[in-house]
Amino acid sequence: MNTNPTHRFRDVLFMLFVSMAVACPTVHAEETSDTDFGQQAIRIARGYPDGGGYIWKGSTGVCETLTFAGQTLLEKQPVGTYCCGYTLQVAFKLAQNHGLFDGKTYKQVKQFQIEWYGSTKETAEMQCTLAMQHLGVGHAVKHDDARPGDFGNFWRTKSGHSVIFLNWVTDDDGHRIGIHYRSSQSKTDGIGDRTEYFKGHGGEVDPERLYLCRFNEPEPKPDDDADEADAPKERRGANR
């Protein structure tokens, strides 16, 4: 038996460190390809600096004015952001980059914004998921199929939140016990990454009321250069 006080103290510290390491939950890395919508959503989301202030009441939630078809959807609020505004801002930019609003009217896209905020009775619970589905630009995602960069919202005991999913938090057995996300919230004084835990695991998030969604990726456009390369030489040079 080790009777040296210094050695015993060192051993106690070592065992404490090991026990803490074993009990520590795992927040998984954001693993996506550079070409999928999830990675692009995260890249856009991280393009907005952390912080900036969290201001909810009497504001739009966005830190830049959103316009469509020459009309204003939402005015930039003077200071700060809040959750629905920040996530919409990221989603709006991603959708426009890929032409997902092409052929839509201002009225349709404005309704998309309203539903994203859960401002109708029908969309109050599932918010962005129904907004995507109603406009025909996205679909619901099961928890088992979630990918970094998905959009979503969830409900706590007394409040809700709109987020960009980064990954699950799991215990040592691989069971989901929380969610790691990016959004705008008071805990990060505006934009930032945050982890929250599910009910029964030290948190207030209800996993049964956690909804995820993803934009439909458009079909790849025909490669004009490839078509030209396959054409007969006479035709390829006819219009040059």
**Average pLDDT per 10 consecutive residues for the chain, totaling 240 residues:** 48 41 42 69 97 94 97 96 98 97 98 98 98 98 98 97 98 97 98 98 98 89 51 37
Per-residue model confidence (pLDDT) at position 17: 38
The pLDDT assigned to 219 comes to 72
pLDDT of res. 24: 42
Question: What is the reported pTM?
Answer: 0.79
Residue 185, strand partner residues: 190
Chain centroid to Cα 146, Å, comes to 11
* Beta-carbon count within 10 A of 134 CB: 16
Q: Are 180 and 205 contacting, i.e. CB atoms less than 8 angstroms apart?
A: no
* 96, 117, 217, 218 from 221: Cα distances, Å: 16, 32, 12, 8
Q: How far apart are CA 195 and CA 94, in angstroms?
A: 24
pLDDT, tens only, 122-161:
999 999 999 999 999 999 999 999 999 999 999 999 999 9
Q: Give the pLDDT of residue 218.
A: 78
Reading the block at residue 167, the tokens are: 């990954």
Name the nearest CA neighbour of 95 among 119, 70, 113. Answer: 113
Q: CA–CA separation, 102 vs 139, rounded Å?
A: 18
Beta strands in the chain (DSSP E): 26-27, 51-52, 66-68, 71-74, 138-141, 151-155, 160-170, 176-185, 190-197, 210-215
Residue matched to tokens 């990454």: 193
Q: Which two tokens stand for residue 34?
A: 């550079």
Of 98, 119, 68, 123, nearest to 215 (Cα)? 98
* pLDDT at residue 221 in the model: 62
**Residue 61 CB partners (closer than 8 Å, separation 6+):** 74, 77, 81, 82, 83, 84, 85, 86, 88, 89, 117, 184
> How high is the pLDDT of residue 58?
86
Q: 89 in helix, strand or coil? A: helix
Q: Which residues contact 108 (CB under 8 A, 6 or more apart)?
A: 135
pLDDT of res. 34: 44
- Altogether, the residues listed in the chain come to a count of 240
